Chains A and B, each alone.
Chain A
Amino acid sequence: MSEQSMAVWSAGLLAGAKARFAALGADLAQAPQEAQQALQSVHDSLMTGSGVRSGTYIAILLLVGVAVEWLYWMYAYSPLRAVMAFPASSPREALRIGLRRLAFGASGLLLFTAATIGASAAFAWPPHVHGVVIAATLLLLMLRLSWIGVAVVLAPGRARLRLVPVEQAQARWLAAACLAALALLALGRFVPPVIADGIERAEHFAGALRLAAYTIAALVLFIGAFAFFGRSRPRTLSGRTPLFPRSFPLAMLVIGVYGIWLMHDRGAAVAAIAAVVIALQLGLRPIVYHYWDDDDAGALPAIVLSLARFVVALAGIGAAAIALDTPLATLAENVGPWVRVGLRLLGVAVLALLAHGIWIAVRSVVDQRLARIGPVDPHEPPDSSSRLLTLLPLLRVTTAVLLLVLLVLSSLWALGIEITPLLAGAGVLGIALGFGAQALVRDIIAGIFYLADDAFRVGEYIEGAGNTKGNVERITLRSVALRHHNGPLHFVPYGALGSVRNTSRDWVIDKFNLPLPIEVESEKIRKLIKQVGEDMKEDAAIGPLMLEPLKGKLYRIDPGVKIFRCKFRSPPGKQFDVRANALKRIEAALRKMGVQFADGRQTVLLQSSTG
């Protein structure tokens, strides 16, 4: 954008503001006269047969609406009382109750409005009246909705159910101020169009009325900002740094929006929405943490906070689009350059918020699970949690990379930068790189399948191809780090891992031989080994490690030696301890029985031939 076009644009803006001020002045000057005329003509048209007919129809509409809502409350009143009698012990419960109250109240109101507007379609109205009736119904809807909202959020007189941290003494006044401001805003929004479209086309009167309503609303909000948010926040710790009073930015927002409205009608709606969004974004953190201040909530407040930020931003954009009466797509084409840039930046901000929300959610869930599993103990048998321990960090990194790439690409797209050539360029470069990175790709793909097959987890002892063996210490996207039992750390790319022999799964069978002298009685030895096995099973320390008891039997008879083979089953990694213990016990038992191990000496009988 050139400087010149900006200057033209600003000059246009100023000229528009000047014209608008002049129009407002004219409105004020001509309003009294127009009001008199309008009132007179309304009076004249009311005091006729058709006026009476309109009045009758309006009374009927009122009765229909009241009857429908009455029926609703016949059923809804007791549940509502039950909800409100619930002893809310925490702010979060109060929030839940508040949402239910809101649903109850809004449903009744909705029924009333729907019944009234629906019934109004059945009558033949004199000209202009139907529009007035619908506008009045909408005004009533907004007023009652404000009432319900304020009653739910501030709950004057019901400290238990209050949703925001406001003192009891202030709640009533704050509620009154909010209601007054909302009522004035609704009045300024709904009444002037009816007057301007009425019989007399009293546009100046409508303008003056709007000006008065908005001015008083701005005043109420301005005073309210200082009256209710001006006090210094309580300092629980004496050494805390002083905080900027919230009243000041709030009052500035009010004045800013009002000023924009004075200069530009359309812009004010957007500015007001932006102001509300900004105020909410500023206040969201304390509000969310007001509801989730306990420790066991874990990652929830962070997720809720980012979700709430996102929802507030989206709702703001949606409301702005509605306020401007234009779909955003066509909007971008026919407004000033600043607005276009602003809209695009807004799009990027929304994307960033979305990405941030997803990232916060994934990260906090992953961190929470990891914290619950705790650090892995390489001496303990790996269980199912070690699989999570393997996968979760991987998931976290992958999500981060993916989100970042997506965010960058879609931000560029949202800013209007063509990303197709970028992607194509990346494609060409990718082919070049691809030849070089063939092995890398192979490793990653192979790694994905190893993990999908659950071939190994952190902490397990595996043996791969090419004499690589050791405890799995770390799993990355491309390789696995194996700690050899002698200490060295192997980094094995998945592509080179080959077939994996995992010795840490489920159970192992260990066998060892006992050479005994040829003279021993086989059956006795078998029973002795069985007895040792039963003793081991009884032992508190070693018993749990025996998945199958120790057994032994005569395996081979060599010259001068009987070889007994013993066998047991134990959890992986425990077989060495169990075997040592079994040998110790067997040795002791054999000694007690007076049997010695085969001594390895072979007796050679020499026959001398003397003759």
Chain B
Amino acid sequence: MPIIPGMRGGRLVRTVRLVSGLILMAFVLCHLSNLALGLRSLAEMEAWRAALTRPWTTGAGEWLLATAATIHLSLGLYALAARRSLTLSATDAAQLTLGLATPPLLIAHVIALATANRVSPGFADNYGQILAVYWSFAPAYAFLQLFVVVVVWLHGAIGLYSWLVLQPVWRRISGFVLPVLFALPILALLGFASAGQEVLDKLANDAAWRQMILDNVGRIAKVTRELAGLQRDLLLGYGVLVALALAIFGARVLLGRQRGVGVAYDGGHQARGRYGLSILEISQLNDVPHAHVCSGRGRCGTCRVRVDAGAAMLTPVGDLERSTLERVGAAAGERLACQAHVLGDGVAVTRLLPAFADATAAQSPHDWQAGSAAKEPA
């Protein structure tokens, strides 16, 4: 059988992706805070680098960061390959696109800093140097960096928010987390602008410093060819991987296309979809109102349904689904619509939460039990 329904991953995969994402996000936060210090001065930035950025670029920190990035990227591609339809919410679509766009945008920056001092000994990778390159010698890279800040921050913020908002603790920390989440990249960019101006002034006024920068730039220029080759190879490899993931996704869609399955809902809705789609995906494809706060990640439990008929035509309950069902206190015979994939006709379900259920339904599932009878708003 070419399709393995439910291969989007069990609990372990989710946890690993979440943890790797959190590690990356922690790094981004540190890096952006360091940049934000540029609002005070270049020296301040440089002074705090040891505490904020350096641990991530040396020793265990570097290893952790690289591993997390690799795992997160691989799991992202895996999730893309494991998709069965393109029914995405707007935030999910943004998340996917931004995530795919990140590696090609970031690769120049990473290669330059991670390998430059290895390839070219004596290269000083301090902020003054990098900012001088960005603001004066090769502004094209600066635009790349600006773009990547927006892209990475949006990707990370969406991921962090959609995980945090489901936690009961969110109500208490949202007032603190949200402002930080919104303010930090803005402050970082302001710091970038302010420090950049400082560097430009210094280049114009401080001849010795200028000479030092020029020497360094000359050293990089010697290895540019090598670095460009490395970058091209990495990009090519990434492109192949993305194409592969897309090809697997396309093949699954095409293969599943040949067999259609039907689902009957409460309220007289009838929906049809391809073999192997989850109940939630079939709802979304057919415009059946269906709550899904976490967009089918199996976290929130708002999409849960009572299976009235055809339980044998659904994929069995996995560990992720079981734990979520337990957490929200689901009764026997209830499933998560995003995790139950339809393998044949004759499935009939009742949606248990109204379509407008929001994150509070995941934070405190028991408050929403009573409201589940009122299916549609009056």
Contacts and interface: CB of A to CB of B under 8 A. Distances in A.
Interface in A22-75: 46-49, 51-53, 55-60, 62-64, 66-67, 70-71
A475 to B, nearest CB: 47
Nearest to B179: A67
B139 A64 contact: no
B139 A46 contact: yes
A207 B245 CA distance: 44
Contacts of A159: 287
A64 B356 CA distance: 28
Contacts of B178: 71
Q: How large is the interface on B (under 10, 10 to 19, 20 to 34, 35 or more residues)?
A: 35 or more
B196 A53 contact: yes
B139 A57 contact: no
B261 interface: no
A81 interface: yes
Given A56-B193, A57-B193, A160-B287, A63 B185 contact: yes
B299 to A, nearest CB: 17
B196 A63 contact: no
B377 A62 contact: no
Interface string A71-99: 10000011101101111000000000000
Interface string B179-199: 000100110011011001100
B135 to A, nearest CB: 5
A87 B139 contact: no
Given A71-B178, A84-B289, A87-B267, A49 B354 contact: no
A86 B193 contact: no
Contacts of A52: 134-135, 139, 142-143, 146, 196
A47 B150 CA distance: 20
A492 B189 CA distance: 90
Contacts of B308: none
B77 interface: no
A81 B355 contact: yes
B165 to A, nearest CB: 8
Given A52-B143, A55-B142, A86-B377, A62 B356 contact: no
Contacts of A70: 157, 182
B146 A56 contact: yes
Contacts, number: 86
A201 interface: no
Nearest to B378: A86
Contacts of A49: 135-136, 139, 196-197, 200
A78 B267 contact: no
A157 interface: yes
A78 B154 CA distance: 21
Interface in B163-221: 178, 182, 185-186, 189-190, 192-193, 196-197, 200
A78 B358 contact: yes
B147 interface: yes
B356 A82 contact: yes
A158 interface: yes
B29 interface: no
B196 A62 contact: no
B62 interface: no
A66 B376 CA distance: 31
A159 B356 CA distance: 19
Nearest to A68: B182
B249 interface: no
A157 B142 contact: no
B115 to A, nearest CB: 24
A153 B135 CA distance: 47
Contacts of B135: 49, 52
Contacts of B26: none
A87 B134 CA distance: 55
B376 A85 contact: yes
Interface string B277-294: 000000000010101000
A79 B178 CA distance: 21
Nearest to A56: B193
B272 to A, nearest CB: 13
B42 to A, nearest CB: 14
Interface centre among A52, A67, A70, A81 (most CB of B within 10 A): A52
A78 B196 contact: no
Contacts of A47: 139-140
Contact of B147 (A57, A59, A66, A85): A59
Interface in B344-378: 354-358, 376-377
Given A59-B146, A82-B354, A86-B377, A53 B193 contact: yes
A383 B326 CA distance: 69
B349 to A, nearest CB: 16
Contacts of A51: 139
A601 B153 CA distance: 122
B287 A158 contact: yes
B139 to A, nearest CB: 4
Nearest to B284: A157
B33 to A, nearest CB: 15
Nearest to B178: A71
Nearest to B287: A158
Interface of B: 134-136, 139-140, 142-143, 146-147, 149-150, 153-154, 157, 178, 182, 185-186, 189-190, 192-193, 196-197, 200, 267, 287, 289, 291, 354-358, 376-377
Question: Nearest 4 A-B pairs (CB), nearest first?
Answer: A82-B356, A85-B355, A85-B289, A67-B182
7 contacts: A47-B140, A52-B146, A55-B142, A56-B189, A58-B146, A60-B190, A158-B287
Given A46-B143, A49-B139, A158-B287, 11 more contacts: A49-B135, A49-B197, A49-B200, A52-B146, A52-B196, A56-B190, A63-B153, A70-B157, A78-B358, A82-B355, A85-B354
Interface of A: 46-49, 51-53, 55-60, 62-64, 66-67, 70-71, 77-79, 81-82, 84-87, 157-160
